[in-house]
Structure 1
Amino acid sequence: MRTLRRIMNHTSGSGRSTLALGLPLASIGLAVVLATGCGSDSTKPDPVDPEPEETYGVIETWMGTGINGLGADGPIETVNLSNPQDLTFGPDGNAYVLDWNNHRVRKVVDGVSETIIGTGQLGDAPEGQAIESSLNHPTHVAFDPADGNLVLSAWHNSKVMKMNLATGEFNRVCGDGRRSFGGDDGPAIDAILDLPVCSVFDHDGNLWITDVANQCVRMIDTAGVITTVVGTHEAGYSGDGGPATEAQIFMPIGQQAPPVGRACFDEDGNYYLADSYNHVVRMVDRAGIIHTVAGTGQRGATGDGGPATEARLYRPSDVAIGPHGDLFIADTWNSLIRKVDKETGIITTIAGQPNTTPGYGGDGGHPSEALLFQPFGIEFDREGNLYIADTNNNRIRVIRRFS
């Protein structure tokens, strides 16, 4: 997940909303006022209604037959997908699905799928018309707030591309197809990437790219200049409490490695990264300081009901911010979707069954009783429904929000 999303947040007395996530209270600007019981009732502030809990309904299959293959576009319940990686909702409210192993991006309008990028054949993502450009495993879509056009992370192409939605023109933003590193502090168009899995825009219109095999996150500013903003370019797990540019992250590097490491921004402009092979989620605040907000660094499927920083994850691949500001995590190798409460930092599983063999099941029932199979992507629509790229089930599933 994860284009910039506008959400309603509960604010502290400072006027800034924050996600507690187990960080010290002093570090997130929360104030605690203790009532002494002295004075008359007229001096007491009016009670504030608590923000409603996020409550979700049944889980359903939204798109895909479950058959791994390439099929025609049409009604989404009849479409075959091949290891869908993710989906994003555009400014038009429509869904854009990353049909990963079919090398396509598919747009869903009124329940009908239409391929808008890719021929279905493997290729090197040439410029031209997007529908005629053959891709190599696309992994993420975002939308440029400046012009509303689509930005694609073409993972195995080691390119970031942009599609003009009005004309269909498909042009290169960054990366030239070589798997390497280069170009920092210069024009992004001349820079070299190595397996860019995700690109998300911040509040200022800068584009943050998870440059997976280079073990870093790079940013293209609005002037078109690229720099490294997270990571040292060496794999590891270090740096919490210090500048993100001095911290180490750990992502897979091989050509056959899984496409993990997606990211999102919250309403305050904090950046969340699925630091997948460290089995944690990291947060970079507006000051550029990095923190671990979920996971211990040890893989596992423990910790529900306790602080997220004491829970174990297993190769999380995506993050998203819910309607009330909570952090949602695609805990991929555990085949779970987990939630970290914004106010308390407590983690719970909302979909999937911990320590259970992955599979497919549970449609029409409670999400916590469903089976998932390595979900790589999650995203919310405008109504607060949670969509899951249930990757190895070759389906997109949805958990309907009813309060």
Structure 2
Amino acid sequence: MNQGTCIRENNVFRCVCPSEYSGSRCEIHDLCQSNPCMNGGTCRSVSENAGYQCICSPRYTGSRCETRDYCTPNPCANAVRPLRASVVDIHPNATWSKNGITVAGGNGYGSGTNQLNHPWSLYVDDDETIYVADHGNHRIVEWKSGATNGTVVAGGNGQGVVRWSGRNGTHGETIISNIECFGLAMDDNGYLYVVDYREHEVKRYKIGETKRTVVAGGNEQGNRLDQLSYPYYVFVDRDHSVYVSDWGNNRLMKWEEGVTQGIVVAGGQGKGNSLSQLNASRGVVVDQLGTVYVADKQNHRVTRWPKGARQGSVIIGGNGKGSQSNQLNQPMGLSFARHGNLYVVDWLNHRVQKFNIEQTQFL
């Protein structure tokens, strides 16, 4: 039944059923076999007409648990709203368009409002407004969704971590000085995580205090599991685990809160272009399943590493360096928007590329 295939084995017939069907004659229609529920939802078979029902995890709604309720718990009323160091929720079978859309820069390098100069990193808010660290111009540029020009919203003097008001701030407040900081993240308690490139460590600060705690590295430069070598980017998940792109060791490290050494979650097999290797790891983001996404700079690609994987898969780029829409030229920062679109800082093309998530495989 239901287009099953009949196979004869030792004078005994059995049915090989298509996806979503089971039973000795493929008579049972079970839509839950393809797991249509997203974000950790549980699929429950119901009547033949209804097909299935998704029992959603907390904070998720929708017929397939595809919608997150950002107001539960209430993020307002004197609470800290962190940068989206926070984990995004990505379907395990998600794919992205192979061709990117230029959403910032892309007009050669320069200091015009439609240009960038060796951009380094970025953040994308819930409205898909982009904030770009325009490294060569020593400024932060805001690009509204669909805009052809950016607006300078911050610029600093000297090295350090500077806080700027998002409400028409004209002067920054230096909160951490005399540090060669590359990566920066914030957790849901409002703590800042700062990558100290020269000291080969990641430090955690509470805003308003000078005390800091080393949460990764801090044992001089090296390749042991308790060491880092010129770290660049940092990501903090919901459990306050720290993910660090360990550039000098061509690996991505995870340090759980309170531990004295990390574990390798991507790369660590020497410099190279095989799927088990990285070459100058840069930006990193992590989803709700612990899957790691890393900008593999010198391989001009973004790779995805499921939790526990020994090798990654290419999801963006990997077509040689270049400026075509399916190419990158030394990608740096990464950021997911709330619905899973992936933004990539394309360093030597002086642009930011947006790669739309493809939803058809979830249907």
Alignment TM-score, normalising by the size of structure 2: 0.68
What is the rounded CA distance, in whole Å, between the counterparts of 1:205 and 1:11 in structure 2? 29
Deviations for 1:169-205, whole angstroms, at most 9, x for unmatched residues?
Answer: 41110114xxxxxxxxxxxxxxxx2x11112112332
* 2:246 maps to 1:302: no
1:216 and 1:382, CA in 2 relative to 1: closer, same or farther beyond 3 A? same
Q: Which runs of 5+ in 2 are unaligned?
A: 1-37, 43-52, 56-63, 66-90
Pairwise CA distance, 1:47? 11
Determine the structure 2 residue equivalent to 1:398: 354
Spell out structure 1 runs of 4+ moving beyond 3 A: 8-12, 46-52, 90-93, 322-325, 342-346
1:248 to 207, 224, 227: 227
Which residue of the partner structure matches residue 54 of structure 1? 94
- Residue pair 2:106, 2:349 contacting (<8 A) in 1 also: no
Identity %: 24
Query: Measured at CA, do residues 56 and 173 of structure 1 come closer, stay the same or move farther in structure 2, by a change above 3 Å?
Result: same
Structure with greater Cα Rg: 2
Aligned ranges for residues 1-400 of structure 1 at < 5 Å?
A: 10=40, 53-57=93-97, 58-71=99-112, 73=113, 79-90=114-125, 93-112=128-147, 113-118=150-155, 125=156, 135=157, 157-168=158-169, 169-176=171-178, 193=179, 195-221=180-206, 224=209, 225-239=211-225, 247-251=226-230, 261-288=232-259, 289-303=261-275, 311-322=276-287, 325-342=290-307, 346-353=311-318, 356=320, 358-361=321-324, 363=325, 370-400=326-356
What letter is aligned with 1:69? Answer: G
| Higher RCO (Cα < 8 Å, 6 or more apart) | 1
Structure 1: distance between partners of 2:285 and 2:95: 16
TM-aligned CA distance change 1:344 to 1:9, over 3 Å: farther
Change (3 A) 1:229 1:267: closer
Asked if the contact 1:9/1:267 (under 8 Å) is kept, the reply is no
Where does the alignment leave 5 or more consecutive residues of structure 1 unmatched?
1-7, 13-45, 74-78, 119-124, 126-134, 136-156, 177-192, 240-246, 252-259, 304-310, 364-369
Aligned equivalents of 1:320 and 1:60: distance in 2?
A: 20
Structure with the higher fraction of residues in helix conformation? 1
TM-score relative to the length of structure 1:
0.62
Report Cα offsets for 1:17-59 as digits up to 9, x if no partner: xxxxxxxxxxxxxxxxxxxxxxxxxxxxx99999551121232
Structure number with higher strand proportion: 2
Aligned length: 273
Give 1:109 shift.
2.2
Give CA-to-partner distance per residue, 1:197-249, whole Å, 9 cap, x none. 1121123322111000111111113562212222235211113xxxxxxx111
Measured at CA, do residues 228 and 269 of structure 1 come closer, stay the same or move farther in structure 2, by a change above 3 Å? closer
| 1:62 partner letter | V
